[in-house]
Amino acid sequence: KQEVTQIPAALSVPEGENLVLNCSFTDSAIYNLQWFRQDPGKGLTSLLLIQSSQREQTSGRLNASLDKSSGRSTLYIAASQPGDSATYLCAAEETSGSRLTFGEGTQLTVNP
Amino acid sequence: GAGVSQTPSNKVTEKGKYVELRCDPISGHTALYWYRQSLGQGPEFLIYFQGTGAADDSGLPNDRFFAVRPEGSVSTLKIQRTERGDSAVYLCASSLSAGVYNEQFFGPGTRLTVL
Supply the pLDDT for residue B54.
92
Query: Does residue B99 have a pLDDT over 90?
Result: no
Query: Does residue B101 have a pLDDT over 80?
Result: no
Sheet of B19-24, strands arranged across: B5-7, B19-24, B75-79, B65-68
Predicted confidence (pLDDT) per residue in A30-65, tens digit = 889 999 999 988 889 999 999 988 999 999 999 999
Contact assessment for residue A11 and residue A26, using Cβ atoms and an 8 Å cutoff: no
Distance from CA of A51 to the nearest CA of B (A): 6
- Which pLDDT band holds residue B100 (cuts at 50, 70, 90)? low
Find the CB nearest A31 among B41, B48, B101. B101
Predicted confidence (pLDDT) per residue in A86-101, tens digit = 999 999 998 766 889 9
Give the separation between CA B76 and CA B34, rounded to whole angstroms: 10
Closest alpha carbon to B25 in B90, B78, B94, B108: B94
Query: Does residue B1 have a pLDDT over 60?
Result: no
Q: Which of A7, A39, A44 to mutate to test the interface with B (most CBs of B within 10 A)?
A: A44
The residue-averaged pLDDT of A75-81 equals: 97
